[in-house]
Chains A and B, each alone.
Chain A
Amino acid sequence: MSGNPIDRIATATPAVMAKRVRGLSDRAIAWLFVGPSIVLLLAVNIFPLIWTINLSFTNFRANRLRDAEYIGLRNYERILTDTDTWQSMQATANFLFWTIFFQVLIGFALAYLINKKFKGNDLWTTIIVLPMMLSPAVVGNFWTFLYQPQIGLFNYVVEFFTGIDSSSFSMIGDVSLAPWSIVIVDTWMWTPFVMLICLAGLRSIPDSIYEAAECDRASKWRQFWTLTVPMVLPFLMLAVLFRGIENFKMFDLVVQLTGGGPGSITTLTSIDLKREAFEKWRTGYASAYAVILFVTVFGLASIYVKALNKVKER
């Protein structure tokens, strides 16, 4: 019994106090309080995960009546040797790189400016934050309208500033532009998130450090690189982690914007997985795909967190 964590919780409360407490015992309270959450997480997260792993070794199809057969590692072999899979992995990697690049750049710059505490900065901060609070599917769908050749606002603005004919290019239709179309919308939506975390980082730097640097006659430029950047770096890295995980999962926004097209240029892994699982209904194959994605994101995130902790310790 003592091996059970919940039982150990209860015994952890000082014995003197436990006696004074009336009503339910601490042990019962602990069970009662943690129980539902654990049960729900087991039912909706752990059990399905185990089921997915099991299915990944079969040729099960959820839309068929016939029984599934175990086929060993065949699904994994097929996925890892399929060029389409690698294409979607590459598309995802490109998407991740460029969205993070722009969001960090713009997000940090904005945070730096907002930290100058000009009048009304909190209201403007809120306005900048608005896009990230909204439904990506609904907003993404509307962006296809903004991206229409000729009549779309985006194309018109481009024409207005550059003179390029607004009907001559299609952000979501041209092979060379489509990857940028999703990067632009994702950057528009999620730069504020990076900005807020950077802002928290900037605000955590005590004024006294700058005052000390000023006494040492360090130039502003030098202060920026030797004080501001290193102090904000852990925060920035955390923002990158969160954005990385979120964009690795990306589905709703891109599905609404490009549907993975043109061709398969913007088919991210989630879109590819959805086609396998819910259009072709190759459930076993898709389960193996899901396991591979999970291992990938978990593995990358763990390595990254280790690096992050090293930076923090410095």
Chain B
Amino acid sequence: MKASKLLMATALTAATFGMAGSASAATDSLTLCWAAWDPANALVELSKDFEAESGTEMSFEFVPWPNFADRMLNELNSNGTLCDLLIGDSQWIGGAAENGNYVKLNDFFDAEGISMDDFIPATVTGYAEWPKGSPNYWALPAYADVVGWTYRKDWFERPELMAEFKGKYGYDLGVPESLEQLKDIAEFFQGREIDGKTVYGAAIYTERGSEGITMGVTNALYNYGFEYGNPENPYAELDGYVNSAGAVAGLEYYKDLYDNGTPPGSSNWYMGENIDAYKSGQVALQMNFAFIWPGVNADPNVGGDRTGYFANPPGPAGQFAQLGGQGISIVANTDNMEGALAYIKWFAQGDVQAKWTEMGGASAMRSVVEAPGFADAQPYNQAFLDSMAIVKDFWAEPSYASLLLPMQSRIHNYVIAGQGTAQEALDGLVEDWVEGFEDEGLR
């Protein structure tokens, strides 16, 4: 009995201790929530300046991408108090604005002289506005990001490979000028022996659980003619846009690329897996958000001259790229509103933004990216600017998850599991989306 009494006593003291610990959050501290990735580490470093200036103690809660949306939306919806500041994904903004999870920042911007005209227009629309196209701001563009490609320049420049490629496809091996060419290159490298190692074509997004395959397939869909709906009234008319002949061709393209140009077992890959595959020399091409580019450039195995960067190549219907990136918002539940506002004010300064990009962040401020010399400052900057000029984003409606989940399921079912046809997948998606909009009273 003695032992069990001791155990109980320990448990009780531990419990009271633990609770006291969690209750004593000081008001001159701020918790910032974001995804766990390289830029987040850079933000920790950058924020040290803010801590020194303001005396506010910063703490951070970083969640890996596959769990990020789940965890943070759950946190918002449970009226949680974990985060004061949240760098939330661009699709959340509709819901967070309409449900009162974010603080509207217009008055604050006006008072502090922060102007949205100072930021890249696509990022203002993508990260800050709700409803889209109206001057209602719920966030400050914090991290500009977009899907683009990296390729193994060193392999592309090998004479024997160049000759073989030219013989086979009739044009020079290099940065692909179209998605069709990109597929040729992926197929060319698929299963090839390079330096005694079997390598494969391209690492592309195929992840099922969160948003991975959607963020990947849209890069093909957009460029083959997919539209989210009739541009005049997207909610009312989906049929013939979402499942247009072009959209079907785009989806078939993505499956073709997956079947013939990607490593075996890459059926559930997203950012992390793609980085791993690329850095370990497994693939010649990598689809990924631009945030990884500084890390690739610094990598001892594939960095420097061995890698090149390019924007998503055009397809028959144009050239677009999937927008990534986030704005920084204040969680309405915060118990330190002043501190949170002070942080955003500090973060919006031109020199802080310049330092942000320098440290591995990606400022969306025009004074930073339009500065003379920016395009040449890093080998990937030009590709970044090219990509930011062609961005397109997924729905950001409050019900975006009801639109995203069916897309994940329909696309994964067709591309990875090989069930049904592309036409059936997209027809099904139209049905799901129509149902989603009907539930919302938008149709």
A residues touching B (Cβ–Cβ < 8 Å)?
A: 59, 62-65, 84, 148-150, 167-170, 172-175, 258-265, 275, 278-282
Interface residue from B73, B198, B405, B413 paired with A63 (Cβ < 8 Å): B73
Task: Give every chain B residue within 8 A of A282 (Cβ-Cβ).
Answer: 402, 439
Given known contacts A261-B412, A279-B405, is B419 in contact with A63 (CB within 8 Å)? Answer: no
Task: Give every chain A residue within 8 A of B399 (Cβ-Cβ).
Answer: 280
Task: Give every chain A residue within 8 A of B398 (Cβ-Cβ).
Answer: 63-64
Are the CB atoms of A280 and B208 closer together than 8 Å? Answer: no
Interface residue from A62, A173, A264, A281 paired with B267 (Cβ < 8 Å): A173
Are the CB atoms of B209 and A261 closer together than 8 Å? Answer: yes
B residues touching A (Cβ–Cβ < 8 Å)?
A: 70, 73-74, 76-77, 95, 98-100, 198, 208-209, 264-268, 398-399, 401-402, 405, 409, 412-414, 416-419, 439
Interface residue from B70, B95, B409 paired with A264 (Cβ < 8 Å): B409
Are the CB atoms of A167 and B265 closer together than 8 Å? Answer: yes
A-B contacts, 5 listed (Cβ < 8 Å): A65-B100, A261-B209, A262-B416, A264-B409, A279-B401
Are the CB atoms of B73 and A173 closer together than 8 Å? Answer: no
Are the CB atoms of A259 and B208 closer together than 8 Å? Answer: yes
Are the CB atoms of B264 and A170 closer together than 8 Å? Answer: yes
Given known contacts A65-B99, A175-B418, is B268 in contact with A259 (CB within 8 Å)? Answer: yes
Are the CB atoms of A170 and B402 closer together than 8 Å? Answer: no
Interface residue from A149, A260, A275, A279 paired with B265 (Cβ < 8 Å): A149
Which of A59, A175, A279, A282: most chain B Cβ within 10 A? A279
How far does the Cβ of B125 sit from chain A's closest Cβ, in whole Å? Answer: 23
Given known contacts A63-B99, A65-B99, is B264 in contact with A261 (CB within 8 Å)? Answer: no
For the complex with contacts A167-B198, A263-B419, 16 further pairs of A-B residues with Cβ separation under 8 Å are A62-B77, A64-B398, A65-B98, A150-B265, A167-B264, A170-B264, A173-B266, A173-B267, A175-B416, A175-B418, A260-B208, A261-B416, A263-B416, A264-B409, A279-B70, A280-B405
Are the CB atoms of B268 and A173 closer together than 8 Å? Answer: yes
Complex Cα gap A172–B207 (Å): 12
Task: Give every chain B residue within 8 A of A167 (Cβ-Cβ).
Answer: 198, 264-265
Complex Cα gap A13–B416 (Å): 68
Task: Give every chain B residue within 8 A of A64 (Cβ-Cβ).
Answer: 98-99, 398
- Name the residue of chain B whose CB is nearest to the CB of A144: B268
- Main secondary structure, interface of A, reads loop
Task: Give every chain B residue within 8 A of A84 (Cβ-Cβ).
Answer: 409
Interface residue from B77, B100, B417 paired with A175 (Cβ < 8 Å): B417
User: Which 4 pairs from chain A and chain B are nearest by CB?
Assistant: A173-B267, A263-B417, A149-B265, A261-B208
How far does the Cβ of A274 sit from chain B's closest Cβ, in whole Å? Answer: 9
Task: Give every chain B residue within 8 A of A281 (Cβ-Cβ).
Answer: 77, 401
Task: Give every chain B residue within 8 A of A169 (Cβ-Cβ).
Answer: 264
Are the CB atoms of A170 and B401 closer together than 8 Å? Answer: no
Complex Cα gap A259–B413 (Å): 14
Which of B265, B268, B399, B417: most chain A Cβ within 10 A? B265
Task: Give every chain A residue within 8 A of B98 (Cβ-Cβ).
Answer: 64-65
Complex Cα gap A275–B74 (Å): 12
How far does the Cβ of A59 sit from chain B's closest Cβ, in whole Å? Answer: 7
- Name the residue of chain B whose CB is nearest to the CB of A64: B99
Are the CB atoms of B265 and A148 closer together than 8 Å? Answer: yes
Complex Cα gap A262–B409 (Å): 9
Task: Give every chain A residue within 8 A of B268 (Cβ-Cβ).
Answer: 172-173, 258-259, 261-262
Complex Cα gap A275–B268 (Å): 18
How far does the Cβ of B80 sit from chain A's closest Cβ, in whole Å? Answer: 13
Task: Give every chain B residue within 8 A of A280 (Cβ-Cβ).
Answer: 399, 401-402, 405
How far does the Cβ of A110 sit from chain B's closest Cβ, in whole Å? Answer: 33
Task: Give every chain A residue within 8 A of B414 (Cβ-Cβ).
Answer: 263
Are the CB atoms of B265 and A173 closer together than 8 Å? Answer: yes
Complex Cα gap A84–B405 (Å): 12
Which of B77, B266, B405: most chain A Cβ within 10 A? B77
- Name the residue of chain B whose CB is nearest to the CB of A62: B77
Task: Give every chain B residue within 8 A of A260 (Cβ-Cβ).
Answer: 208-209
- Name the residue of chain B whose CB is nearest to the CB of A147: B265
Complex Cα gap A279–B439 (Å): 16
Interface residue from B100, B209, B412 paired with A263 (Cβ < 8 Å): B412
Are the CB atoms of B74 and A278 closer together than 8 Å? Answer: yes
How far does the Cβ of A207 sit from chain B's closest Cβ, in whole Å? Answer: 38
Given known contacts A62-B77, A63-B95, A260-B209, is B417 in contact with A265 (CB within 8 Å)? Answer: yes
Task: Give every chain B residue within 8 A of A278 (Cβ-Cβ).
Answer: 70, 74
Are the CB atoms of A262 and B265 closer together than 8 Å? Answer: no
- Name the residue of chain B whose CB is nearest to the CB of A274: B70
Task: Give every chain B residue within 8 A of A264 (Cβ-Cβ).
Answer: 409, 412-413, 417
Complex Cα gap A149–B100 (Å): 46
How far does the Cβ of A82 sit from chain B's closest Cβ, in whole Å? Answer: 10
- Name the residue of chain B whose CB is nearest to the CB of A285: B439
Interface residue from B76, B405, B417 paired with A262 (Cβ < 8 Å): B417
